[in-house]
Structure 1
Amino acid sequence: MKRLFLVAALVGCLAVPALADLSTHPLVGAPGSLLSGSVHFTPIGPSTLDVDVDFAVWTPGTFSGVTLLPVPFAPFFSPAEYVYAYQVHNLPASHALTTFGIDSAGGSLTGLAYDPDFDPAVSDVAPYAGSIFVGTPDFAEFYFSAIPAPGFSTVLLMSSPLAPAFASASVINLGQTAAGTLPSPVPGPAAVVLGTLGLGLVGWLKKRYIQGA
């Protein structure tokens, strides 16, 4: 009995480092990034998912990854473009999740990757597959066997030739969903059109004001 107790105690001691292996949140305030932060996702309907997603965006040619690996079944990303990085944090009150999806803000997505060493923690979960769906807008998904609660993903990477705006994103497991907004590519021509319309409206209002004076 004493021997069994000793073995159990030893196993418990060995398990402690794994439980203490928490993410260092390397994307929040990431050096050289254009913007970074963290978003808490809101459960939809009866969902009990409780998730934060950290993010960072780098301008073309400024991202320096540690170990860049392809996501199976998805085109490989280009560090010469805008790099969008995300890390999913599944919180203790949640349950395991299997999918992370991100819409573009109407822009094109060119590739996916992940970096298992950007976060020095060793218990992060890598995607087993991913997809980019071309449409209006494009959107991407990363698939996991399961990110436990608590647990977190590797740093997930997405590339686009386009600069960021904020677009919808979601985490999913067995029909349960939580949603938030994250940086994602916005098409340049659309931004130019919106800017032109805005300037035109200002000019029209100014002209109308002068005529009415």
Structure 2
Amino acid sequence: MAFGAFLAAAMTTFVYFTRFVQEASVPADLSNAAAQVAAQPPVRPKADKITLGQSVGVELEAFGQGELPGGLGALIKAFTQKYGTLHINQSVDGNPLRIGQEQFTNGLGTHSTSKIRLELGGKYKALSGLVGADAEAGGTIVFKIANDKGAVLFTSSLMQRDTSAAKFEVALAGSQYVDLIVEDGGNGIDYEHADWVNLQLN
């Protein structure tokens, strides 16, 4: 009987020891899982494919989220840029639009050198908004606006990531179209992320 009691006690001890080892291993597993989650890169905002205006029957597509106020996106009939593709309400890399210390909800994220054409059909009197180099990159750029006659209506100063947004307002005087132009600041086009924000036609 004494041996049987000893055997029963030994088995009980073994069971409790096994449970202890299993339970003690859980925090380590959880720690590893947490470390793996922490090591994951930050998730960027979702970028949807967006259809812009039609040019010669061809639908132009950009990326981003939502629409531009006043249906301005439908007026974009053509665009070219040296890197990436045009984004709506996001930077060219798909992040929130940010110029200097300010973040903006709506606008165009592009890259130098680039040209975005707005087909106006002579219906508007003025275009206003803000421009700046997006804070996510470190290039230097210049913004220009030209009308259908080739006249340059606006030229910004040289802008870089720590430059505050520059305001513009140009008279359109019945222009059929205007081109939103971003030029290289003179040191190559690398990291030259450009934002046109808070655009408004009157």
TM class, shorter-chain normalised? 0.3 to 0.5
RCO higher in structure (CA 8 A, sep ≥6): 1
Name the larger-Rg structure: 2
TM-score (ref. length: structure 1): 0.33
TM-score (ref. length: structure 2): 0.34
